[in-house]
Amino acid sequence: MAAMPMKFETAHYEFLVSPLTASGARPSAREPASSSVRVDLAATSHPGKVRNRNEDHYMVAKASRRIEVLMDNLPAGELPGHLGEEAYSMVVADGMGGMNAGDVASMLAISTGVRLADKSVKWGFKINEREARDLLNRMSMYFQEIDLRLTRKSDDDRRLFGMGTTLTLAYSVGSHLFLIHVGDSRAYLFRGGELAQLTHDHTVAQALADAGQIKPEDVRQHARRNTLTNYLGGHRGKVRADVRWTRLEDGDRLLVCTDGLTDMVSDADIAGVLARGEDSQRSVDVLLEKALDAGGKDNITLIVAGYTIPSPESSAILEGHAQTAHAQETTITDTGEFPAAPPDPGSRNLGREAS
């Protein structure tokens, strides 16, 4: 569907860097090694009951770097307990456009992001504020490059004219969580019985609520709740994405999804499913079933990640003499790249126009 003239400024372009724990304290100097954090992952994508084609795409990726000691004669405890690092990327994309343009847009957004990350980033899993800002800046540049490439593709092929896509990426390393997104595909964090929306929808209805012109509770039923004010594919590399850096805690559950889920299932119902404490696959299955039972009016894509994060004390035991190794900076120098971005959502056809 052809883009409409911009009538609202896209709200909530924030560069929010929060190196604080939920309690407000600065991160401990001794953090759990990323390889000691356990992540239970599950994902699914379904065309729904109305659409003929699934134009959502998603991707879940794991990046790892390991050193395996095959033989040594060092005294016990002289080597760190963990000589490996791990990070996870969870991405969803929801495309828009006529014919199969939305499908192409969401697919290209994810595959392009993966290629950019694969070529240009260093490994680095020891996160401090400077490294975090650098990572978020790189993510923002990737989104701008994806936007530019989608725009050029649309210019070169008239069949793809007007294509665009949302893109939401959650990247976790150890207890650090980085988010970047454009559009209305959401990320949620469930903690301590409460569900928090970590992303801010880039839609006309949300912009009206931000401006005080409608009540926040009216956004869900507003006629333009699916009209995007910000998306990839129409800004010629000038798109601006929301970015966020926050901290994960033991027992946290992360949900990344397209609006095919959130338009059908309320936040309260989502929280109820995640509160059951079931494994991620079961949570994904139940949430999909709820969206379909409610009508399944759009493609439905979701990723659930459950985090088991050791306490600083148990992490210190696992790491052995890791502090000595880090101070010497001789054995392991992480350089670090953030893993690829997942594929995602497809066109929304009727009602999925861009503002």
Half-sphere exposure of 245 (CA within 13 A, CB side): 23
Q: What is the identity of the amino acid at 42?
A: A
Q: Do 52 and 340 contact (CB within 8 A), yes or no?
A: no
**What's the DSSP call for residue 10?**
P
Give, for 322, the enclosing helix (H) or strand (E).
helix 322-328
d(CA 338, CA 130): 15
Question: What separation in angstroms does the CA of 126 have from each of 96, 321, 327?
Answer: 38, 16, 13
What does the pLDDT look like over 240-272, one tens digit per residue? 899 999 999 999 999 999 999 999 999 999 999
Q: Do 339 and 89 contact (CB within 8 A), yes or no?
A: yes
Q: Do 196 and 188 contact (CB within 8 A), yes or no?
A: yes
Residue 142: inside a domain, yes or no? yes
Q: Do 338 and 89 contact (CB within 8 A), yes or no?
A: yes
Residue 80: inside a domain, yes or no? yes
Q: What is the identity of the amino acid at 199?
A: T
Q: At what angle do helices 280-293 and 267-274 cross, to 10 degrees?
A: 150
Q: Do 162 and 101 contact (CB within 8 A), yes or no?
A: yes
- Give me Rg for the CA atoms of the chain: 21
Binned at pLDDT 50, 70 and 90, residue 107 comes out as very high
d(CA 322, CA 330): 12
Instruction: Provide the mean pLDDT of the chain.
Output: 79
pTM comes to 0.79
Sign of the CA dihedral with 164 first, then 112, 244, and 141 last:
negative
Residue 94: inside a domain, yes or no? yes
The predicted pLDDT at position 322 comes to 32
The predicted pLDDT at position 315 comes to 45
> Which CATH number characterizes residue 264's domain?
3.60.40.10
Q: Do 67 and 127 contact (CB within 8 A), yes or no?
A: no
The predicted pLDDT at position 164 comes to 94
Q: Do 298 and 263 contact (CB within 8 A), yes or no?
A: yes
* Average pLDDT for 161-171: 94
Domain encompassing residue 50: 15-24+33-328
For the residues of 195-213, what is the DSSP string, one character each? EEE-S---BHHHHHHHTTS
Residue 40: inside a domain, yes or no? yes
Question: How many domains is the chain built from?
Answer: 1
For the residues of 268-315, what is the DSSP string, one character each? HHHHHHHTT---HHHHHHHHHHHHHHTT--S-EEEEEEEEE---HHHH
d(CA 312, CA 310): 7
Residue 244: inside a domain, yes or no? yes
Give, for 255, the enclosing helix (H) or strand (E).
strand 253-257
Angle at CA of residue 250, ends 134 and 77, nearest 5°:
80
Residue 83: inside a domain, yes or no? yes
Residue 278: inside a domain, yes or no? yes
* Average pLDDT for 4-23: 33
- Assess whether pLDDT exceeds 90 at residue 123: no
Burial (CB < 10 A; 0-12, 13-18, 19+), residue 185, is: buried
What does the pLDDT look like over 35-69, one tens digit per residue? 789 999 999 999 999 998 999 999 999 988 777 78
Q: Do 94 and 258 contact (CB within 8 A), yes or no?
A: yes
Residue 335: inside a domain, yes or no? no
The closest of 157, 201, 197, 179 to 11, measured between CA atoms, is 201
Q: What is the dihedral of CA 261, 262, 266, 268, to 10 degrees?
A: 90
What does the pLDDT look like over 272-299, one tens digit per residue? 999 999 999 999 999 999 999 999 999 9
Half-sphere exposure of 246 (CA within 13 A, CB side): 20
